[in-house]
Amino acid sequence: MRYLFVAILGLVLGVAGAGAALYYNPLAERSAPMPGSTDRKLHYSLPDQVLEFAIGEDARLFGQETGDDSLWEETIDRAGVLGLVLNDGSNQPAALASRLLSASPDTDLLLNGVLVSDDWLVTIPGEGSFYVHADSNAWPFLKEQLVPVWYLDQPWTGPVEYWPTVGPGADDSAEVVGLTGSFRGSEGSAVEHYEITALDPARNVAQANGELYLNLPGPQVAAQ
Amino acid sequence: MKTVFLLALLIGFAGTLAGAHFAPALKHERLPSNTTVVSNGGRAEKFMIRLPADRIAATDGEAGGLRAKGADGVMIMPAQFVAEPLLIEHFKVRDSGGAVIGVAARHWNGTGAEATTTWSVLIPSRGALVLSSRGETRAALDSALRSRGYSAGKEWAGTVTLPMTGDGEGVVAAGTGEFENLLGTYRETWSVAAVDEDGKVSGTIELSTVTSRLQ
């Protein structure tokens, strides 16, 4: 009996130790390098500039209602579709973006964090469209903000900012492919940054300002 | 006693880390891919969208016509964009067998020298496929329906089949996951069977892709 008690105690302590190691694991907190000063910046605020947000039933971080148009099918129940207006430097609407989000199969709490595949399709009227493929690490936000504040009722201390982009580019930035108009044939990189400005579960309020830093040089291949 | 404690501690610690590393908790449900091999060695795959069931939302700009006004999910654009020739649509996507497998965004942009259409199709268990082509003319669907007798505010039933890829076909522009490093083409066809008095369109959108692996 004593052996059993000691074994259970050891097991519990081992699990707790590993949990602490995972919680403070620096491997799960990497992020892309800071954007260059010449990068183009498109920014948005949440929820003001949300055109539409449909989310899978198993992807509701804030426990929100999914409504009649929820992504309930089991193949897409951990995905989301977000329509956004993006503003330019003068804070005027400059672009429309569709973000298709899904839990990444590369999620690994030991090595990578909680990864979200974030596919942006952005159209800037008069310029064209481009596609951004980003892997974003949600783990720092989840452990520092969402779980303690939203679910454990701890007081929120903010604002707080995050650089979630962790790939899949070689330098941990997102990959960008120009599709149409002046972007056609160009390739580049992008990094996202966001600042949470309010998080209040009692009032059901979550607000953030986000920025997409875009480095998209001219076409790599001259038009024929 | 000490050995038992240390062994249990080690098992608890290592087991938890192993679970965090190998746990398949975030794997997406996957259905078999309905692909066929075409004569040149490429791979053909069709994606379907059933209207109105699979429409998630569409922008409310003037360029949208029936595709915007008849939708349940409306994306209200900023005033600056309402008169612009822009239409953003979000859909669920099905395989050729009719099962929902992903979500998609379609951007039609008529503000440049020529109209363009871009698609981003995300199948969570497989990756993303990005398509690009010359776009259809503004309000192409509305014009085609009117030429077959449709008038606004009245129910209509019939058959309209409309190719929506300018130049006949578009290109596979990018991909991730299973779709990474694929080259290919696609055709987009809208088939409309009915429009109700509120302007809600019933029909299908078919995306037919032919791809091959970049060597």
Give residue-wise pLDDT tens across range B162-212.
999 988 899 999 999 999 999 999 999 999 999 998 889 999 999 999 998
CA B189 to CA B185: how far, in whole Å?
14
C-alpha distances out from residue B78 to B60, B71, B140, B183, Å: 10, 18, 24, 36
User: Are the beta carbons of B12 and A2 separated by less than 8 Å?
Assistant: no
- Give pLDDT, residue B26: 67
Residue B113: CB atoms within 10 A of its CB come to 6
Q: How many domains does chain A have?
A: 1
Residue A104: pLDDT over 50: yes
User: Are the beta carbons of B112 and A51 separated by less than 8 Å?
Assistant: no
B85 prior amide bond cis, ω within 30: no
* A interface test, pick of B9, B91, B117 with most A CB neighbours within 10 Å: B9
Torsion of CA A181, A185, A186, A192, to 10 degrees: 70
Beta bridge partners of A137: A115
- Give pLDDT, residue A2: 83
Q: Is B132 on the interface with A (CB under 8 A)?
A: yes
Q: Is B204 on the interface with A (CB under 8 A)?
A: no
The separation between the first and the last C-alpha atoms of chain A, rounded to the nearest angstrom, is 81
Interface of A with B in 43-82 (CB under 8 A): 51-52, 54, 68-69, 71, 73-79, 81
Residue A77: inside a domain: yes
User: Are the beta carbons of B7 and A100 separated by less than 8 Å?
Assistant: no
Residue A28: pLDDT over 90: no
Interface of B with A in 10-49 (CB under 8 A): 10-17, 20-21, 26-31
The residues near A48 (Cβ < 8 Å, ≥ 6 apart) are none
Residue A63: inside a domain: yes
The residues near A70 (Cβ < 8 Å, ≥ 6 apart) are A54, A55, A56, A57
Structural tokens at position B178: 């299973």
User: Are the beta carbons of A109 and B21 separated by less than 8 Å?
Assistant: yes
Contact (CB, 8 A) for B116 and B133: yes
Task: Please give the residue of chain B at the shortest CA–CA distance from A92.
Answer: B80
Q: Is B107 on the interface with A (CB under 8 A)?
A: yes
Residue A119: inside a domain: yes
CA A171 to CA A188: how far, in whole Å?
12
Phi/psi at A86 (5° precision) = -110, 135
Which residues does chain A have within 8 Å of residue B107's beta carbon, measured at their own beta carbons?
96, 98, 121, 123, 129
Contact (CB, 8 A) for B165 and B187: yes
The residues near A26 (Cβ < 8 Å, ≥ 6 apart) are none
Interface of B with A in 74-103 (CB under 8 A): 75-78, 80-81, 84, 86, 88, 90, 92, 99-103
- Give pLDDT, residue A125: 93
Instruction: Locate all alpha helices (DSSP H) within A34-188, ordered by sequence.
Output: 139-141
- Read off the pLDDT of each residue in A50-76 and give the average, rounded to a whole number: 78
Q: How confident is the model at residue A122 (pLDDT cuts 50, 70, 90)?
A: very high
Contact (CB, 8 A) for A165 and A128: no
Contact (CB, 8 A) for A212 and A56: no
A12 CA: distance to closest CA in chain B (Å):
7
* B interface test, pick of A136, A179, A186 with most B CB neighbours within 10 Å: A179
Which residues does chain B have within 8 Å of residue A96's beta carbon, measured at their own beta carbons?
59, 77, 81, 86, 88, 107
What pLDDT, in 10s, does the model give residues B101-118? 999 999 999 988 889 999
Structural tokens at position A198: 């309010």
Residue A97: pLDDT over 50: yes
Residue A206: inside a domain: yes
- Read off the pLDDT of each residue in B73-88 and give the average, rounded to a whole number: 90
CA B64 to CA A41: how far, in whole Å?
28
| Element at B3 (helix H, strand E) | helix B2-22
Domain range enclosing A108:
37-215
* B interface test, pick of A5, A69, A96, A107 with most B CB neighbours within 10 Å: A96
Residue B69: pLDDT over 50: yes
The residues near B136 (Cβ < 8 Å, ≥ 6 apart) are B108, B115, B117, B162, B164, B165, B166
Cα atoms in the Cβ-side hemisphere of radius 13 Å centred on A149: 23
B137 CA: distance to closest CA in chain A (Å):
16
Task: Please give the residue of chain A at the shortest CA–CA distance from B30.
Answer: A75
Residue A126: pLDDT over 80: yes
The residues near B145 (Cβ < 8 Å, ≥ 6 apart) are B66, B156, B160, B192, B195
* A interface test, pick of B28, B47, B106, B172 with most A CB neighbours within 10 Å: B28
A49 CA: distance to closest CA in chain B (Å):
9
- Read off the pLDDT of each residue in B9-18 and give the average, rounded to a whole number: 85
A128 CA: distance to closest CA in chain B (Å):
7
How many residues does the structure list for chain B? 215
| Element at B145 (helix H, strand E) | helix B140-147
How many residues does the structure list for chain A? 224
Which of B75, B80, B118 faces A52 most closely, judged by CB atoms? Answer: B75
Task: Count Cβ atoms within 10 A of the Cβ of residue A220 and give its class: 0-12 exposed, 13-18 middle, 19 or more buried.
Answer: exposed
What pLDDT, in 10s, does the model give residues B47-61? 999 999 999 999 988
